[in-house]
Amino acid sequence: MTEQGKPTITQAMIKAYDDYTHLTLDRRGFMNKLTKLAGSGAAAAAIAPLLAANSARAAIVPADDAGISASDITFPGATGEMKAYLVTPADASGDLPAVVVIHENRGLNDHTRDVARRLALDGFAALAVDFLSPLGGTPDNEDTAREMIGQLDATETTSNAIAARTFLASHEKTNGNVGAVGFCWGGGLVNQMAVKDAALGAGVAYYGRQADAADVPAIEAPLMLHYAGLDERINAGIDAYRAALEAAGKEFELHMYDGVNHAFNNDTSAARYDKEAADLAWSRTVAFFREHLG
């Protein structure tokens, strides 16, 4: 604990949480490891909520913001009906550039809905898709959501992402140009969309798993890739991906944010959120979409 009574969070603790949420460490193993790192069970209990996402943290754009129009909808996916959250600027009549918003491995939660609202305020039609729809939709418990993510069929999930892009492209309020932005698990899905969907207008992947180098020649969309300097797990694939993109002559931007962690954009995670990096990445993302989607 610090002198002020606030928990001290180390990089080792953040790595343990990343192993728990993305690799093979289970909840019991994570808490045991955190207890050893923190020095006591009480300290670990105080630190764990700071590492996790906290849905109680205030949204950057309130759900009832006067500048947006938002609704829960369904659309035809490749494997059945898909649930989603559609947000547009208030009073928008049409010809909006559009973006599919792809959640982390927690499913479609309040934070991802907030991201969609931010895009709407920036002038886009945003569709935050619940990719757990084939399994009944995102549950309240994020541990359960992560388990369900692991049950999804990767090929079907990519097809559902393409179906979301197709739905937005034909929506009466859009100009037909659709991009995709994804975070963590969703960043990896953006890279897969780029491989499989020649009609994708632009892709922005935040700290997402890279596409296989052999698949890169199929990519048509311009890409923007955001990475966290301390994210060793995801960053291990950067060099091969960058080399393949360069060799194939693809249009891409790669931005590394030094000294920040995986999920630095997620403002509901106190320990990992970095406002300076998040704001810079967001400004780049919005400018990129405006350039390529109209």
pLDDT digits (tens, 9 = 90+) for 199-246: 999 999 999 999 999 999 999 999 999 999 999 999 999 999 999 999
**Pairwise CA distance, residues 196 & 131, whole Å:** 17
Cα angle: 204, vertex 50, 65; to 5 degrees = 55
What does the pLDDT look like over 121-168, one tens digit per residue? Answer: 999 999 999 999 999 999 999 889 999 999 999 999 999 999 999 999
Residues 6+ apart with CB under 8 A from 168: 98, 99, 100, 125, 127, 174, 178
**What single letter denotes the amino acid at residue 254?**
L
272 HSE (CA, 13 A, CB side): 26
Strand ranges of the sheet holding 223-228, from the earlier edge strand across to the other edge: 68-76, 81-89, 125-130, 96-102, 174-183, 202-206, 223-228, 252-257
User: According to the CATH classification, is domain 68-293 in 3.40.50.2000?
Assistant: no
- The full set of domain ranges for the chain reads 11-51, 68-293
Count of residues making up the chain: 294
Kindly give, in sequence order, each residue whose CB lies less than 8 Å from that of residue 197, ignoring residues fewer than 6 positions away. 161, 162, 165, 221
Please list, residue by residue across 12-43, b when 16 or more beta carbons sit within 10 angstroms of its beta carbon and e when fewer do.
Answer: ebbbbbbebbbeebeeeebbebbbebbeeeeb
pLDDT tens sequence across 134-145: 999 999 998 899
Helices 185-196/154-169 angle, 10° precision: 70
Supply the pTM of this predicted model: 0.88
Buried b (16+ CB within 10 A) or exposed e, 215-253: ebeebebbbbbbbbebbeebbebeeebbebbeeeebebe
Residue 2, pLDDT score: 43
Nearest CA-CA partner of 18 in 285, 281, 264: 264
CA angle 277, 242, 269 (to 5 degrees): 30
Instruction: Report how far residue 109's alpha carbon sits from residue 76's, in angstroms, rounded to the nearest whole number.
Output: 21
